Structure 1
Amino acid sequence: MGILSNKKANQADARQVDAFEIVAAQVVDVLATAGVVLDERNLVLRASPGAIQFGLVQNRHLIHSALVRLVEDARSTSGAAEQELQIEAGLQREQLWVHARAAKFGDRYVMLLVDDRTEAKRLEVTRRDFVANVSHELKTPIGAISLLTEAIAGAHDDPDTIRKFSASLQKEAARLGSLVQELMQLSRVQGANLSDTAVELDLALVINDAVDRNQVLAEQRGVKLVTSAIKGSRMVGDYEMLTTAVRNLVENAIAYSDKGSQVGIGLKEIGGVAEIAVTDSGIGISEDEQERIFERFYRVDPSRSRDTGGTGLGLSIVKHAASNHKGEVRLFSKEGVGSTFTLRLPIQNRETN
């Protein structure tokens, strides 16, 4: 009788184990995040597609020791264990930030959920750096304006000094205005929804408009603007955003060109892609700096940018504008020879009659 009772008890335990495994499988299969269920030996019984893609499991084992320790913590407590962790993933050993939570599932099992927070972490770092950079950039012209107004107030009986300081004050005010304007433009392109602003447009008109907006600056710098754009190259996009992007490229080229030189602006179509190229014969950009050239507030030549009123935001705006239109911006540059920035935009989405 005792043997039969033990046999029935073992069968009941086996059915309970099977039931837990079935439930675990059902739960993991519907998880949108990375999740795994482990038995008492820490062998993985079930892993969600996200966990496999995330690279958490190999040969039925968790491959990150930090996650294994979290699972053990969950076993030793009645509640759940959770932690923010940094782990490595992939062949490149990419650093990822994750939020991991482990909880007992029945008497023998532990369920582990891992949520990738890497992008959120990067955005947090980017936001913090951006605020710090904006504060620094605003501090310079605001400080200069404050000092200049004090100097003007103290030189009320010296007209020549007042005129000198007034000219400097206008320059700093213009720099501050330019920075605020470009910050607004950057904010606009980052949060743009093209479904609200996209229209069918002619890229030749975009280029002509961008060149016109830079004509006064080019004359002041003694730089000639030469345009060569095919007509009839049309696409659906945000006219003002694209015009601003091209204007920024032309303005940059003018700022880094010597007096008497010229800046070329061309447009051509290659395989369903419109290419707007802006070429200068300026100082060029080193290979090391080319990787950072599209970062916000980054300047190839800070002293020259200060002289020209550059904010270091123009190329970042161009990059976002290109991305919003499913395109890209490429750079070819050689020190002492010049640079060519090419805005590449797919035009397969243009409307047809």
Structure 2
Amino acid sequence: MVESLGSWWRSLTHRNDDDEHDADDDTLDDATNALLSMLPLASIVVDEHDEVIRAHPSAYSLGVVRDDVIIEDSVLQAVREVRSFGGKKQFDLTTTTAYVAQHTPKAGKLSTRQAAKQALIGQQPASKPTATVSRPNWLKVIVGKLSDNLVVVLISDVSESVRFSQVRDSFITNVSEQLLKPTQSLEQLADIVEQGGTSQQDVERNAMQLRQSCSHLEHMISDLLLLIKAQKPILPTADNRINVMDPVRVVVNSHREVAAQRNITIDMKGDESLEINGEAEQIQAALAKLVENAITYSKDGSTINVVAKANEGGTEAVISVLDRGAGIAIGEQSRIFERFYRGDNQNDHSGDGIGLGLAIVKHVALTHHGSASVWSSPGQGSTFTLVLPLAGE
């Protein structure tokens, strides 16, 4: 990549004596503009006064340029060095993009019950900006000379690959720990039996720990297999027509006992006429993940609402799961559907998760030509919505 850019710069900056371009011209010819537009990188062209005369929109959103000026000192320094001494400079850079997050009004202006009611009927609470959050950008920068007066900065945004690597490393660590737990429990049980003289109560306690570890490992493997299955798009046929309330009812009824252990009530209502085309096992698994999450992050004694209805146009089934839990931080809401991502709002009931539940929900939605989304506000709870196209006549 560096060599090809170097060849491009050399050919671009080569001038014959009879070149019609004046040496002091700080404008770009059509060929240069066209070439910069075709490059899969964000480009910035800077004149001899350090003023930005051309910049890709990403240069602004990535926090390198503002008001036609380069605001990153390392980039500006590289531009000046290349202008003075020629050659190329290549380096890594981390910036932050700040943006104003939309947040719901605090209690008093809009109660939790009001927010929940609005969410249930498909309305979003009135929003206003109340917080500024930032997102890191990992960039690779190349700086080179275009002419005596002009310097070009090329920026490659590698943020997604860096974030994926971070999530992957976290996942590997998490899964490794989970794989070790059954082995450790088995070793402890073997030690107790081998030493002899231990009480039946000790044996039973260690056997129970081993069973729990194995159960969790089985659950994790099942999630991975389900995620793999939820990759192939579902084609509508006469054989895969499903009444929406059937999987909703199965999931809710199968989780009532678990919810009741923490005095949590699950309220269910929906349109019995809604039908979709899909894989029943996948739909049920996705809904189960949403209900399980709602139970996990809800407060003891609270209520979870599960609602299925048609959208306003009558073309889609909208299944919502609403809880009154701690909510999700604004800065994390765009990432919670990523594979293996786990937010900072973990509690005593969520410690064993590996971050696949909502990824499964997203992929089930996509394979069924639908979508998954979240509305959440810290302190007011969350509403997860699974939208699926209704079956045709």
- The 5 A counterparts of 1:1-353 are 12=18, 15=21, 17=23, 21-22=28-29, 23-48=31-56, 50-51=58-59, 56-58=64-66, 60-89=68-97, 94-155=135-196, 162=203, 165-185=206-226, 187-188=227-228, 192-195=230-233, 201-211=242-252, 214=255, 227-237=268-278, 239-251=280-292, 265-272=306-313, 274-278=317-321, 285-286=325-326, 296=342, 300-302=346-348, 304=349, 311=353, 313=355, 315-317=357-359, 320-321=362-363, 324=366, 325-330=370-375, 342-347=383-388, 349-353=389-393
* Structure 2 counterpart of 1:5: none
Distance, in Å, in 1 between the alignment partners of 2:378 and 2:61 is: 38
Instruction: Render the CA deviation track for 1:72-106: whole Å, top value 9, x for unaligned.
Output: 23335553211111234466565422111011224
The one-letter amino acid paired with 1:352 is G
Q: CA deviation at 1:264?
A: 6.2
The one-letter amino acid paired with 2:34 is Q
Normalising by structure 1, we get a TM-score of: 0.69
Distance, in Å, in 2 between the alignment partners of 1:73 and 1:120 is: 30
In structure 2, the gaps of 5 or more residues are 1-16, 101-133
In structure 1, the gaps of 5 or more residues are 1-10
Instruction: Render the CA deviation track for 1:47-82: whole Å, top value 9, x for unaligned.
Output: 345546656545553333221112223335553211
The one-letter amino acid paired with 1:274 is A
Contact 1:24 1:37 in 2 (8 A): no
* Structure 1 counterpart of 2:112: none
Contact 1:299 1:312 in 2 (8 A): no
SS at match of 1:286: coil
Distance, in Å, in 2 between the alignment partners of 1:218 and 1:170 is: 22
Normalising by structure 2, we get a TM-score of: 0.64
The one-letter amino acid paired with 1:135 is S
The one-letter amino acid paired with 2:21 is R
The one-letter amino acid paired with 2:77 is R
The one-letter amino acid paired with 2:78 is L
SS at match of 2:156: strand
- What is the number of residues matched between the two proteins? 328
SS at match of 1:135: helix
* Range that drifts further, 109-118 or 231-240: 231-240
* Alpha-carbon spacing, 1:278–1:110, altered in 2? closer, same or farther (3 Å): closer
Matched-pair identity in %: 21
The one-letter amino acid paired with 1:267 is A
* Alpha-carbon spacing, 1:164–1:137, altered in 2? closer, same or farther (3 Å): closer
* Range that drifts further, 73-82 or 107-116: 73-82
Greater relative contact order: 1 or 2 (C-alpha under 8 angstroms, separation 6 or more)? 2
Distance, in Å, in 2 between the alignment partners of 1:315 and 1:108 is: 55
CA RMSD of aligned residues (A): 4.5
Contact 2:329 2:377 in 1 (8 A): no
Contact 1:141 1:175 in 2 (8 A): no
Contact 2:298 2:325 in 1 (8 A): no
Q: CA deviation at 1:215?
A: 7.5
